[in-house]
Structure 1
């Protein structure tokens, strides 16, 4: 029996269609973002992206806050701009919260092992009509070019179910440990800024074999400081793209427009503060205008952040590292990518969305590398002309 709420939502769906050619079925649109819908989800016609967003929000009991007085425009070109307004629009459109099941296995327990999907492919008679053949996740699928719309949608649904079960019950192995270690590092940093002298920092990378000669860490230290400075600035001031503040390791911040004030109040500055500010201004502005802006655009999560740190730490291009270390680097980085895939799947992203998110995340790496080059060059010039004296740990861990 259909409830009143569901029947009302179903009646509403009849108005949510766009005109189609006479020989095709009407094409529904998503009532949330206006994109093409593949059918009803939780009582109304939505696209898969909005359905996954709604399922994830309800099942994980997520709460969002709008930064623009809950007046954000949600459409297919900007549906990810505000999660709060998007979820409220889902509710207003009639999406049913109680329809979200904690378990996404709609098949139930199986009495006997299920045959491989390839064994259940429909047998088709040979025909002279042109056919198309493709390979989706290792499963060959073929059919006539002019297929009925309903068959096409069914095949897409079958592929989607296979994609969603790719990760199964897989669990992340590396990223949760790194995230725990990173939180531990943040608590340590409140008591000491000499990171290299703190033995507890090794807990950030527990269960991983670090080269005794700290070759990996020596190269990693400057990437950590620059990346963390950008990420913490994003978390503190990222809501305003015009905010020029940059968070410092001690918890304070500096404004790019008042940079000389920072050098007026540090004992490391050996020359005119304006001279020091002029020297370091390009490197610091690069962090605010390029790196923080990139992080803001992709809305970086904590797991994505520690994954980027992992890419910098486990670096196989460094000289003087043993073959065993190279093997460890490769296996660890592969595990990080697997963890990212599991993380994205758990958030409800499709294969295409995962590819885009991973690509945008990796595009941050050359920008951070450029930032480190700028800082090391500026620091070398500052020491050469006795403008600024770097801390001992910064000099000791300067990348080669």
Structure 2
């Protein structure tokens, strides 16, 4: 630390010279990330005059970057490979921003064969019929809706969120321990059964089990558990599925390795797996539309998960702490829909995890040149968020056109795909 010397960007305590100016680690890492990834931002207020002192540095990234340059931080001094003053907080605090990114591949441009998940370009792919989404069958007259009730699950989650834990652990330690506990029942590949058929009833049973496990993992965060119950539930409802998808992809890659790429082998629960060319998803009890209809809707996203997430995971082989790091940064996917105090809690959790990851790499691993790993983790998070947002548009149409003929108590929890 540099005593009595404030960061020239945010006025927090600095710890030395970074890229030509006196700053804190967080602002140095923020500037480094913006430079390396060539990020561009829009001012939150539109006048480029936001106050970014202290916690305000999280409010507007455009004004923060402008301030960095104004105090003399030099892009030419940024090392693209490794910086010993590296801090995860500033680098990851805005990892969810897609303001300057261009999505790679859309549902109308992506295709994969269930038995061959190799990459295909948009030129080779015939794409999806743009009118396809509006093809749906009306409900059969007098056929009663299936009732899907998650009220019991909600009560269990609220109970889990009400339990106070006083363990003297850092956020990273607590959430890593919770994930390890979460995975203790996971069977190895040779003990997993590959499902031939999945129906709605069995899926709801699994969802109840798996969602509750994710709620226990959420409950290990002191930052999130400091929120009122309604806000805890709000952030959990909006985040659990993207967190689940990432965690299951990483676990699948760990267990099946290349088979994830070849056959679409995916771990579903501790006991079961599925393959896109062998497993039949039967939705006949809640819709008149065919399984092929839903395959055509969601297979392009599966392809993107394989190419943009599973393949990099296979190369990286992340540690459990790195998996937690990504999962944490997927919480609060749509910050704009969250209450200000919820957004603040999510920011606090990400910031604490980021700083603790720096200590983890330094003290608990032999990975000294870890900046490249961070860049991969950041890209994984951004890919997950981008795919999830695009997939959510499809799911909104499903609800809009009443494609599921079922009375569902918690639509957020009924995530089949």
* Bigger radius of gyration among the two: 1
TM-score scaled to structure 1, two decimals? 0.48
Greater length-normalized contact order (CA 8 Å, ≥ 6 residues apart):
2
Q: Normalization by structure 2: what TM-score?
A: 0.46
